Structure 1
Amino acid sequence: MVRYGKEHKLETRQRIIDTAGRRLKRDGIDGSGVATLMKDAGLTNGAFYAHFASKEDLVATVVVDQLRDQCERLAAVEPGREGLEQLVRAYLSPEHRDSPEEGCPSAALLDEIGRCEEPTRRAYTDSVLAFIDDIAARLAPHDPPSARVKTLGVYALMVGTLQLSRAIADRQLSDDLLEQGIRNAFAALGLPQRG
């Protein structure tokens, strides 16, 4: 029997999380069984329980990981309100709409997360609030908590707009919805309306 070091186990775990993140966002939580998730990672079912206690444990871990990645992407955009404008435009873009497996876990999984067990919903809540608080700090640098609820509302607007744009079969209507979502988010955030 081959023994792997701790680093190998951590790399394998992260590979499972990364591939599961893409699959879950593309096919949903209920549409992605453990066998499929492990096959995507190039592993057998038997290896799953060396890394996760249950599928629910994996889902919670994926959600936290995906939202942490979202926070890191936010940190990479310009500071202040200029960065918010970039974020809104990228979030409500046709590219994001057309690539759910590479995008926001909220837009792809929100309805299913709401039906998950308490630990998964708690992990989601804590992670999404970290993202929201980063945005609120850009809106109100001297008092970020004052902008938290407003920011959460704008995030909900953006997530819902993206979800609806993915569901609409009429491509032009979907594109128009994304553009209107940008205008709505800019208005709610107090950002200038530019062409």
Structure 2
Amino acid sequence: MHRQKTSSPAIFLLFLICTSCTSYEISPQIDNNTPVATGQEISNFTYSITSPWENTRFGKSAYEATTLILPRAKDISNTATTMPDQTLEIIILERSSGGACTQEYLTGLSLGLIPSTCKRHEIYKFSFVLANSGSICSHETYSVNSKTFSHILALPSRVFNSGDTPLTLYKSALKSFIKNGKCESL
């Protein structure tokens, strides 16, 4: 019998074929069919993000998305004045995923032959508060959960991937809140 030696590149290649898919879901559910134009006109907003990492890519992208969704609104986050009329307060909480789930270790040890799933709850929270002259008119908090499916690459990963990312869910949540959040003039 002839025994073949396994080389390091072959083992590395085997680890590369293991992959995972992550899908995200938001609660409460968002209706994306109504355009933003029917909603509340926002003239000012404040933006804050709490994250275990400094200057996150998500935080920067979410801020850019906010300025595109609210093009006429002024960011008053760094001003020491009182809240003017029609102010939207945006608070984002980004949490660490906490590393690999126990099931994912099993997938890694089996070189991807044993698939696994892992759910992480509230990895993002988006809170929107609409105020008029300092009094709260409307408030909504959205939570984003993730579900990871780890497997060998031979499985079609796009079948399990919903296409929603935390950033697209943030944009949808902000648009939905602007559409539904009402603040009567005092």
Larger radius of gyration: 2
Greater helix content: 1
Greater strand content: 2
What is the TM-score of this pair, normalised by structure 2?
A: 0.25
What is the TM-score of this pair, normalised by structure 1?
A: 0.24
